A and B are shown apart, each in its own frame.
Chain A
């Protein structure tokens, strides 16, 4: 009788040990799943882009640097300015410069029409904030792109100096322009 009870107790202990191993394994797997999920989440982070056309080609800027998008107001030409500067505008009473990115990246000058848009781009560093309007031939979209879908730059363009990478939008290859490099260039 006593022997039978002790065997049963031993059996219970073994069962409990096995069960604990099993639960530990479940928890470990759950933790691993959570870690994997976190990694997956990081990989699926998105970046917002402004997609537009310059001279029939698709381009994009990171939207972090874009403050607003406007219908092109009246631009006043400033004599003796470089060709890539189209002039100045009054933006709610403040004077802003207007830059034709096309000219800067060796494309034909933008011909103004009702499809053209002006994006106000702003970049700040430790010492100051620089802001300017950038002319676009046509605005296409503003959208989030998975970071893992951002491609390294292809060496296809003559303006690779300013190319940060590429994305596909609507089966079209879109060249991502690096606004910081553009700002650096026109500040130099």
Chain B
């Protein structure tokens, strides 16, 4: 695992390395019984949402960024993923990545696992869905008969959706 530092963030900034361009490490979590995956290289660190707010990080609940029609979302164990902004601003994916700043985060349910996948196992969304869902949902993988929807958190539009602008959201 290349990103163990993320799970136990310490004071020093971790240095990430992409070791195999044909593989991705995917962070798996569930919202409303739907499995989602995020490329962990997009994540700088995971924090308690309260701590993240104290650090003035703009937080966004993931269900505010992708609409769940008629589904009431509750978070039992919310966790803030702080976005790795250094990759977002790079025009090309570097082999060695140094993290030097971050400011946005998304709140998800507690992750279940981190799995390594071959990029060839990623399937596109079916024609009729690909054309009408948000482009942050970029692909699908099947893991142990379970469908995992892949999310590119760099494609989210964070404007006006942060926790500070959505105080009505309640955590359970």
- Once A83-B69, A88-B147, A90-B145 are accepted as A-B contacts, the answer to whether A78 and B133 lie under 8 Å apart by CB is yes
Q: Are B127 and A130 neighbours in the complex by a CB distance under 8 Å?
A: yes
Number of interface residues of B (CB under 8 A): 26
Chain A: which residue is nearest B136 at the CB level? A80
- Report B's interface with A, CB cutoff 8 A: 32, 34-35, 63, 66-69, 71, 123-129, 131-134, 137, 140, 142, 145, 147, 149
A sample of 20 inter-chain contacts (CB < 8 A) reads: A76-B34, A76-B147, A76-B149, A77-B34, A79-B34, A79-B69, A80-B134, A81-B129, A82-B132, A85-B132, A88-B125, A93-B142, A95-B124, A97-B125, A97-B128, A97-B129, A130-B127, A131-B127, A187-B127, A187-B128
Q: Which residues of B contact A77 (CB under 8 A)?
A: 32, 34, 68, 71
Minimal Cβ-Cβ distance residue in A for B67:
A80
A95 touches B127 (CB 8 A): no
Least distance between A80 CB and chain B CB atoms (Å): 5
Query: With A and B bound together, what is the CA distance between A97 and B132 in angstroms?
Result: 12
Please give the distance in Å from A90's CB to the nearest CB on chain B: 5
Q: Which residue of B lies closest to A76 (CB)?
A: B147
Interface residues of A (CB under 8 A from B): 76-83, 85, 88-90, 93-97, 99, 130-132, 186-187
Report B-chain residues with C-beta under 8 Å of the C-beta of A85.
Answer: 128-129, 132
CA distance A187 to B129 in the complex (A): 10
A79 and B137 contact, CB distance less than 8 A: yes
B34→A88 contact, CB < 8 A = no
Smallest CB separation, B112 vs chain A (Å): 15
Tell me how far the C-beta of B169 lies from the nearest C-beta in chain A, rounded to whole angstroms. 16
Q: Is the CB of A81 within 8 A of B142?
A: no
A84 CB to nearest B CB, Å: 9
Please report the C-alpha to C-alpha distance between residue A85 and residue B126 in the assembled complex, in whole angstroms.
Answer: 11
Contacts of A93 in B (CB 8 A): 142
- CB-CB under 8 A from B131, the residues of chain A are 187
B140 touches A95 (CB 8 A): yes
CB distance from A188 to the nearest CB of B (A): 10
